[in-house]
Structure formats: C-alpha cells, structure tokens
Amino acid sequence: MSISEELIVKEYIMREENEYRAPYSSEFEFYLLVKNGEVEKIKEFSKKEFSEKTGFGKLCENPLQNIKYHFVVTAALIARYCIDGGMAHETAYNLSDLYINRADKARSFKEISELHAEMSLDYTKRMRRISKSRIFSKPIIIAVDYIYENISKRITLTDLAEVTELNESYLSRLFKKETGETVTDYILRKKIETAENMLKYSSYPPSEIAFMLGFPSQSYFTAVFKKLTGTTPKKYRDCNFRKIDIE
C-alpha cells in the first residue's frame, strides 16, 4: 500500500471514530463541484486558505507535515472523483503525482494553500472541458451548465428554454441530437449520479437525498434510482458506503 493509500485509509478510520471534525457536507460539496467542472464555485471555495481550514485529523506531530499529508489525501480523492466523472486514469493520477511532489517540496503553509487552490482549479477546468467536449452547440452547453448548477432543484424544459432563449420543441430535438438523451433522461441521470456519490460519501438518509435533489417524493426517487442502477438506494449504500476504491 502506498503512502497516499495509507493516509486515505487512516483518514476514513478517523472519521468513523469521530476524530475528524470537518463538516462532511461541505467536503462532499467541494469534491462534487470539482467533478462537475464548477469553476466559479471552486474559486469561491479556494478563497479560504487550505491550511486554515478546521477539523483536520492529526496525521503527524509536525504541523506543516500534517497539512502536507492532508493535501495528499485531498489530491487522491480529487483524482478518484474526476475519474468517476470521465477523466482518463493516467491524466488524473499523473496530475495527482505532480501536485503531491510539489507539495512535498513546499516550505510553508502559504505554499501549500496556494498549491491546493491551483490544483483544485486545474482539475475543475479540465473537468469542465471534458464535459463540454462531448457537446457542440452553444445552447446545449448553456443548458448543461444550468443543469449542473441547479442539480438540487426541479429543472424543467421550460427553464432550459428560457436560459437558452430557444423554443422548447426545438431545444428538445437539439438536446437529444447532441447528447443522445432526452432532456428529462439527462437530468435524471445526473441527479442519480449525484445521489450515488451522496450515498457513498455522506450520511444523509435516502429521504433527505431525494429532497435535496429536487425529487417530488422518496418513492419516485427510489423508482428512478433502481431503474438506472439496478438496485435501491438502501442496498447501494449498504454495498458502497465510504468504500475506498483505489487502483
């Protein structure tokens, strides 16, 4: 097991033992924003220096080295999220290695914080390009951006028609042509992908996840989840909750 894998395992153990006090919902939101290519929101996250964030577990007696270890954990998890989002394994891991090596040479908390902001934005911009590279026209890019940014809300074709300034019927046909999915199917798939991450990495019950992702009822959420994943939210969590998957 590599040092990064050992640290990730230790980090998760600390969470289970309630030694890790950072707000998990905020941490989860950060990784999801990177994965979804939310550049502007990640810039906001990066305004607070990494070394000044509270709740870090104690992985080392030396304060600077402790922050470096947490940087390694963050880099490894960002890579995993981005791979889940479509980034090539080699690219994700090469970037992770690059930033971890640079962090190892850092001599101050400020350097680590600046490097964390740089790494986060680098991955996020790449994920944004990956998302847009699959789509060609400007209206569909606008529509997809709107879906990512409002994934927790109820999104309708009317909403997308308004932001793209297109007729609903024309937008519907164009969306299907360029993405290969209907607007409804695309939105539901993205919501369920988000739900999968929440079931894996957060403690929110399925009922709250359904509410947070704008589903009209838990029963509808469960039905859609099972249709797209082949299992129920409860069974999915039972098999995947905080499971570390490192290649």
What is the structure's pLDDT at 89? Answer: 86
pLDDT at position 58 is 63
Q: In the prediction, which pLDDT does 188 show?
A: 96
Segment-wise mean pLDDT, segments of 10 residues, the chain, 247 residues: 44 43 60 88 80 61 84 89 86 89 90 92 90 78 86 93 96 93 94 87 87 94 96 91 48
| Token duo for residue 99 | 């930033």
- The reported pLDDT for the residue numbered 23 is 41
CA 62, chain centre distance (Å): 30
| Domains of the chain (ranges, CATH numbers) | 3-133 (no CATH), 138-240 (1.10.10.60)
In 10 A of CB 197, how many CB atoms? 18
Q: Are 78 and 34 in contact (CB under 8 A)?
A: yes
Give CA separation, 45 vs 7, 54, 130, 171, in Å: 23, 14, 21, 33
Tell me what pLDDT residue 203 has: 79
pLDDT value at position 53? 62
The beta-carbon contacts of 188-191 under 8 Å, at least 24 apart in sequence, are 188/224, 188/228, 189/228, 190/147, 190/148, 190/151, 191/151, 191/215, 191/224
Query: Which segments of the chain does DSSP mark as H helices, in order?
Result: 3-16, 24-35, 39-45, 63-84, 89-104, 109-133, 138-149, 157-164, 168-179, 183-201, 206-212, 218-229, 233-240
What does the pLDDT read at residue 200?
Answer: 81
Which pLDDT score, from 0 to 100, does residue 59 have?
66
Tokens of 172: 């519907």
Q: What residue has token string 């009822």?
A: 217
Gyration radius of the chain over CA positions: 19
Which among 122, 99, 93 is positioned nearest to 247, based on CA atoms? 93
**Would the pTM count as exceeding 0.75?**
no
SS3 129: helix
At 61 the pLDDT is: 72
